[in-house]
């Protein structure tokens, strides 16, 4: 192993940071700097880091304000999963610069546990750009999240019992996944050579994985897909990655990285990232995800008596003011017992029908625009506790609400914590990646609020 994750000569000290950021002289520097390609993915990762004992803050986009003090890990949430590759690369590099300036020692590119991407990117191009910027010749790619039934074996990604391309991801509105072989998928996105670390090696433990990394490196492999079928695998992989400048992964690997810092003595055993004061106010639920999991959650909430209002992209395209109608509908319900649910969630046939008439991107944009305006209207009407379903949707809603960062709080379901927005008028936000959460998520999440 030739690589070191120590501070490189190019990283300015905090006081030298050209932007005057990110913090005060003498502040404890964060150890791990993470770049997530979507909003709920960032929250998922931040929640994992909190569980593993790192005090973590999630920033929405590259921050323009100082970091809160006493932070072990920073997750910058980009909205770059489905933008053109050049744009995704550019935003990732800006985020990397900021994290390096903040003093982070190791870097983590987080994507979805279902490897959401197309042949144009953005996982390959962003990984390439980060590797070049960090001057590193090797990294891993491991979207596994066994707790949420995303496992990798022989380089094939499983969602539950089925291959990725047989799961609901084959019908995703923006990133349909029609191949389950991660080596093949990633190789289509990068000029660098992609290899595989098989489960037999993972089962041999961290030393065996490190040896295999060295062997692959010598053979010219730059990015290795890594098998993982259990949390124990993630711990071994995490330990083997201690000296990599960059890891690329879903959130699972975050379970195994903090132990490296703890072993070095630069991370205590504190888990005090839970925010203390959550705001009291009205509750509401917004759903812009069409995943199978969210479809089931919407159906379950409606069956449980949750009042629900549907946003149909075809009606939006026809110019109907569904934003005003949804807000008029929701207003009297806010003081009731059951939080109102406003959803665009639809099954694959309905999504296809809308896309056929108005196009996939315009349909998504119309829905996002409507849901963000509804979110603003709900907050104006006193909503302070909000559940949002959908990665892209959450990113859009949070930026419309001018939220710049989140303290990560208690976990609701694997991959979904409650969060508290930074700043003067905090909101309690549960931002759920489409695929995540138990079927009763929309009714049960409230019980976990501190």
Applying CB under 6 A, the residues found at the interface with ligand ADP are 173-174, 288-291, 294, 313, 344, 346, 350-351, 354-355, 363-364, 367-368, 390-393, 433-434
Q: Tokens at residue 170, please?
A: 């084959």
User: Which of residues 313 and 415 has its CB atom nearest to ligand ADP in the complex?
Assistant: 313
Distance, CA of 315 to CA of 367 (rounded, Å): 10
User: Which of residues 354 and 428 has its CB atom nearest to ligand ADP in the complex?
Assistant: 354
Which residue, among 306, 305, 409, 326, has the nearest Cα to 369 in the 3D structure?
A: 326
Q: Residues with Cβ < 8 Å from 322, sequence gap 6 or more? A: 311, 312, 315, 316, 370
User: Which of residues 23 and 168 has its CB atom nearest to ligand ADP in the complex?
Assistant: 168
In the complex, residue closest to ligand ADP by CB: 434
We find the least distance from the C-beta atom of residue 262 to ligand ADP, in angstroms, to be 32
We find the least distance from the C-beta atom of residue 358 to ligand ADP, in angstroms, to be 9
Length of the chain: 450
User: Which of residues 247 and 290 has its CB atom nearest to ligand ADP in the complex?
Assistant: 290
We find the least distance from the C-beta atom of residue 168 to ligand ADP, in angstroms, to be 9
Which residue, among 437, 431, 434, has the nearest Cα to 40 in the 3D structure?
A: 431
User: Which of residues 122 and 201 has its CB atom nearest to ligand ADP in the complex?
Assistant: 122
User: Which of residues 41 and 238 has its CB atom nearest to ligand ADP in the complex?
Assistant: 41
We find the least distance from the C-beta atom of residue 370 to ligand ADP, in angstroms, to be 9
We find the least distance from the C-beta atom of residue 263 to ligand ADP, in angstroms, to be 35
Distance, CA of 370 to CA of 393 (rounded, Å): 10
**Partners of 383 in the β-ladder:** 282
Helix or strand holding residue 171 (H, E): none
Query: Which alpha helices (DSSP H) does 381-428 contain, by range?
Result: 391-400
We find the least distance from the C-beta atom of residue 53 to ligand ADP, in angstroms, to be 27
User: Which of residues 301 and 346 has its CB atom nearest to ligand ADP in the complex?
Assistant: 346
We find the least distance from the C-beta atom of residue 346 to ligand ADP, in angstroms, to be 4
We find the least distance from the C-beta atom of residue 248 to ligand ADP, in angstroms, to be 19
Q: Residues with Cβ < 8 Å from 321, sequence gap 6 or more? A: none
Neighbour tally for 100: CB within 10 Å? 20
Distance, CA of 272 to CA of 51 (rounded, Å): 10
Q: Tokens at residue 253, please?
A: 């690997």
Which residue, among 111, 107, 104, has the nearest Cα to 72 in the 3D structure?
A: 104
Rg (the chain; Cα; Å): 21
User: Can you list the positions of beta strands (E) in 105-153?
Assistant: 106-110, 139-142, 150-153
User: Which of residues 317 and 334 has its CB atom nearest to ligand ADP in the complex?
Assistant: 317
């Amino acid at each position: 192993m030739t690589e070191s994750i120590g501070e490189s000569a190019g990283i300015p000290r905090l006081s030298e940071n050209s932007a005057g950021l990110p913090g005060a002289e003498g502040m404890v520097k964060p150890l791990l700097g993470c770049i997530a390609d979507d909003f709920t993915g960032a929250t998922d990762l931040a929640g994992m880091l909190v569980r593993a004992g790192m005090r973590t803050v999630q920033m929405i986009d590259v921050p323009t304000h100082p970091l809160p003090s006493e932070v072990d890990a920073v997750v910058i949430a980009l909205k770059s999963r489905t933008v053109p590759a050049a744009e995704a690369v550019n935003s990732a590099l800006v985020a990397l610069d900021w994290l390096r300036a903040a003093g982070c020692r190791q870097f983590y590119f987080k994507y979805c546990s279902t490897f959401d991407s197309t042949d144009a990117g953005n996982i390959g191009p962003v990984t390439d750009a980060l590797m070049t910027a960090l001057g590193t010749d090797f990294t891993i790619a491991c979207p596994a999240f066994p707790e949420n039934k995303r496992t990798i074996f022989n380089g094939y990604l499983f969602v539950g019992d089925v291959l990725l391309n047989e799961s609901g991801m084959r019908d995703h509105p923006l990133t349909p996944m029609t191949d389950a072989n991660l080596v093949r998928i990633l190789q289509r996105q990068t000029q660098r050579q992609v290899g595989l670390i098989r489960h037999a090696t993972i089962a041999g433990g961290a030393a065996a994985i490190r040896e295999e990394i060295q062997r692959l490196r010598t053979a010219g492999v730059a990015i290795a897909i890594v098998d993982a079928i259990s949390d124990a695998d993630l711990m071994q992989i995490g330990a083997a990655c201690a000296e990599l400048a960059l890891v690329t992964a879903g959130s699972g690997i975050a379970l195994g990285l903090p132990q490296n810092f703890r072993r070095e003595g630069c991370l205590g055993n504190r888990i005090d990232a839970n925010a203390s004061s959550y705001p009291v106010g009205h509750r509401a639920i917004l759903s812009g995800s069409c995943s199978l999991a969210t479809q089931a959650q919407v159906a379950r909430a409606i069956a449980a008596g949750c009042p629900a209002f549907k946003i149909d992209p075809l009606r939006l395209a026809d110019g109907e003011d569904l934003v005003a109608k949804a807000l008029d509908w929701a207003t009297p319900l806010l003081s009731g017992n059951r939080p109102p649910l406003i959803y665009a969630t639809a099954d694959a046939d309905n999504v296809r029908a809308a896309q056929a008439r108005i196009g996939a991107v315009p349909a998504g944009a119309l829905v996002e625009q409507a849901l963000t305006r509804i979110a603003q209207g709900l907050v104006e009407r006193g909503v302070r506790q909000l559940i949002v379903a959908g990665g892209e949707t959450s990113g859009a809603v949070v930026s419309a609400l001018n939220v710049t960062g989140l303290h990560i709080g208690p976990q609701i379901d694997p991959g979904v914590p409650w969060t508290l927005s930074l700043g003067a008028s905090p909101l309690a936000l549960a931002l759920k990646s489409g695929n995540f959460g138990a079927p009763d998520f929309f009714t049960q999440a409230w019980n976990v609020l501190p």
